[in-house]
Structure 1
Amino acid sequence: MADLDRMERVERPRLYEHVVQRLVDFIHDRDLDAGDKLPPERDLARSLGVSRATVAQALVALEVLGVIDVQHGSGAELRYRPSESMVLRDVRAHTSRLPDIVDARNAVETKMAALAAERRTSEDLEAIDRSLTTMSEDIARGGRGLRGDELFHAAIAQAAHSAVLARMMQHISDLVRETRIESLSQEGRPERSVESHRVIAAAIRAQDSDEAFRAMEEHIALVSDVAMLREDVS
């Protein structure tokens, strides 16, 4: 029995992981290559017999890995043909590291928000405001606000005026990008995220470091609620 206790449990694949594998099979079966388009979500969902939400989750996983590029109004475009043997492994690796990325963001970005409230300059506030405008305008056009979100967090890092913390954020920037894509691809999340940004910005403008810390903590909790860490959708 002791030997059995040391055995690793068999991991049950999530539904979106099955869809990821089917999409990779489709890419290879159709001999698709960089620049080719995947069918619309609704057509994929109908063909696979799953919901559009599950297809969307699978496409986000492929986007995070850099396999596809998704642009509003133009659908999913293949960036490169993925290895059939590696893609599911990479998707699971991404999912498994999401909680660690959240922990790192909580440790670093909350402190940077508090410091930004204490140290921000007028130029810093202007950069924060520009990022909010960029994100809001993109969302209004039907986009996800990815660029504006990136600019906002970069502006907070700059406003903190801490070279070491800024370097730490730069070190995990690629990992944070993974969570950014995953979070802002969820329905209604871009709008909630930009409003959360406004609360942080207001605290920084008011030079309220405690409120800035709390607002950033709540924001990270919001954007870290991602579908990949939940139970399957059908």
Structure 2
Amino acid sequence: MAVEWRPVRQSRTHELVLESIEERVLAGELKAGDRLPPERELAPVLGVSRSALREALRVLETIGVLVAQAGRGPDAGARIVRNPDDALGRLLRLHFALGSYCLEDVLEARVTLERSSFQAAAERAAAGADESAAGPDEVAAGPDGAAAGLDEAAELVARMGEPDVGVPEFNDLDTRFHVQIARSSGNALTSTLTSAVRESVRPLILRALEAAEDWPATAAALNAEHAELLRLVRAGDGPRAADLVEQHIRGLHGTLVEEGPGA
């Protein structure tokens, strides 16, 4: 069904354009994958300048609901997407740097989110194992992608355990491991929030890891915990996985609270 576009008021024009597009998303008239009309068509229909329209589209790109590609052809123009992870992580990182949230609150949020995600990932792993043992004629297929997600987490743990891994790469792999477990929990919002919170403290964690007196020993100790966390999740032991991930976060990462953001 074609979307009916109407002119918007001229005051704070780009904000009104945002409201117009938001209304159509909320009404279900615009969905992920839909393309907006070209600027030369959409601007006059809305009754705004192309510069005001571009400003609104840039805001939508920033918050991760739209991607715009320049040029001509079928892939050109603005398209509605679902990509909240990077956008939310960027916004939270900036707000953390500006002092909107204190470090203690960020770390406590990590504990809450990751206890939940590790517990849920373990429960899904256990459910998948039970279904597999029962056989295809007795039950439906297990949680989609759960086992594959844990296999990917295992690859990350293996790479973190290699002797040539440096601090920046380890920090990146560490982030991806925690986010991957959150994805394996089956809760997309928990995954996005986990990614955003972990990303917000990435620079501080990187500095803490770089300051370690014995990096190989530090990396080995942290990754031993990663390996045990993954084992517990695969074994379906949610309570112990939740306890260990809290201990893991409050360990080396907890020292950031004592040192503070300026350390």
TM-score (norm 2): 0.47
1:126 counterpart = 2:151: yes
1:123: how far off?
0.6
In the TM superposition, residue 199 of structure 1 has moved relative to its aligned partner by 1.4
Aligned pair in 2 of structure 1 residues 176, 186: CA closer, same or farther (>3 Å)?
A: same
Alpha-carbon shift at residue 166 of structure 1 (Å): 1.6
Give the match for residue 115 of structure 2.
110
Structure 2 residue 252 is the aligned partner of structure 1 residue 223: yes
Q: Deviations over 1:13-54 (max 9, x none)?
A: xxxxxxxxxxxxxxxxxxxxxxxxxxxxxxxxxxxxxxxxxx
Distance 1:157 1:132, change over 3 A: same
* Cα contact 1:110–1:214 (8 A) shared by 2: yes
- The CA deviation at 1:227 is 5.6
Distance 1:118 1:183, change over 3 A: farther
Q: What is the deviation of 1:93?
A: 4.6
CA distance in 2, matches of 1:171, 1:227: 18
Q: Which amino acid aligns with 1:146?
A: N
Letter aligned with residue 155 of structure 1: Q
Look up the match of 1:184: 209
Number of residues paired by the alignment? 139
Residue correspondence of structure 1 range 1-234 to structure 2 within 5 A? 93=99, 97-120=102-125, 121-137=146-162, 140-141=163-164, 143-144=166-167, 145-187=170-212, 188=215, 189-226=218-255, 229-230=258-259
- SS in structure 1 of the partner of residue 251 of structure 2: helix
Equivalent residue of 2:254, what SS?
Answer: coil
CA contact (8 A) 1:124 1:158 kept: yes
Instruction: Structure 1 unaligned segments of length 5 or more: list them.
Output: 1-89
Structure 1 Cα separation of the partners of residues 98 and 179 of structure 2: 28
Shift in CA distance, 171/117, structure 1 to aligned 2, threshold 3 Å: same
The code of the aligned residue for 1:103 comes to E
| Distance in 2 between residues matched to 1:99 and 1:192, nearest whole Å | 23
Shift of 1:131: 0.7
Q: 1:169-224: CA deviations, max 9, x gaps? A: 23324313234313422424322211111111110011101111011111111132
- Tell me if the contact between 1:196 and 1:219 (Cα under 8 Å) persists in the aligned partners: yes
| Distance in 1 of aligned mates of 2:199 and 2:165 | 24
Deviation track 1:72-118 (CA, whole Å, cap 9, x = no partner) reads xxxxxxxxxxxxxxxxxx98959x82211111101101110110101
How far, CA to CA, are the matches of 2:257 and 2:224 in structure 1?
Answer: 23
Contact 1:135 1:146 in 2 (8 A): no
Partner SS for 1:224: coil
The answer on whether the counterparts of 2:205 and 2:256 sit within 8 Å (CA) in structure 1 is no
Tell me: CA distance 1:125–1:226, structure 2 relative to 1, closer, same or farther (3 Å): same
Judging changes above 3 Å, is the alpha-carbon distance between structure 1 residues 97 and 122 closer, same or farther for their aligned structure 2 residues?
A: same
Q: Structure 1's 116 and 142: CA in aligned 2 closer, same or farther, altered over 3 A?
A: closer
Gaps of 5+ in 2: 1-95, 126-145
Contact 1:132 1:198 in 2 (8 A): yes
Instruction: Work out which of the two has the higher radius of gyration on C-alpha atoms and give 1 or 2.
Output: 2
User: Is the 8 Å Cα contact of residues 116 and 161 (structure 1) preserved in structure 2?
Assistant: yes
Asked whether the 8 Å contact 2:175–2:198 carries over to 1, the reply is no
RMSD (Å), alpha carbons: 2.6
Task: Indicate how the Cα distance of structure 1 residues 91 and 167 shifts in structure 2: closer, same or farther if over 3 A, else same.
Answer: closer
